[in-house]
Amino acid sequence: MAVAFVTGVTRGIGFAVVQALIARGDSVVLTGTTEDAALKAEMAVEIAAGDATRVMGVACDVRDRGAVRRAVDAAVQRFGGLDILVNNAGVGVGGPIESLDEAEWDRLIDTNLSGVFHCTQAAIPHLKARGGGWIVNISSLAGKNAFAGGAAYCATKA
């Protein structure tokens, strides 16, 4: 069975990915931006799986390179290695680009682009140590199908 590290699991696609990995027998480290969010997701998965030994929730803001490295290292320490990285964390902000606050732009870039870079860079040495693995980057149709008020989000998903 594999060990997976999945970002952005507090709802939606990330939570569904975690459930599928658990169902196939993998151990999963699931992350949320806050400790509370990560632990709530961990409890929900544990209840659904009926097995707390294969689930670990950890706070990890993917915008923070140090937090990512600490989370990946904690995953490897707990489960002995890493086989799968699922970069799912993402944020979306809508509205006209001319009125988009620079802090929101930074949050989009730092989460949707830099977050993927931070997680991938932290995971690769551990994947290589086990002879390889999988990196799955969850994107959006918005990367190819722009929509009104979505210029910033669409750009980060392209």
Catalytic residue of the set 153, 154, 156, 157: 153
122 is catalytic: no
- Cα four-point dihedral sign 29, 34, 35, 41: negative
Pairing mode, strands 55-59 and 84-87: unpaired
- Say how many C-beta atoms besides its own lie within 10 A of residue 81's C-beta: 16
- Alpha carbon distances (Å) from 128 to 25, 87, 96: 22, 17, 43
What is the set of active-site residues?
153
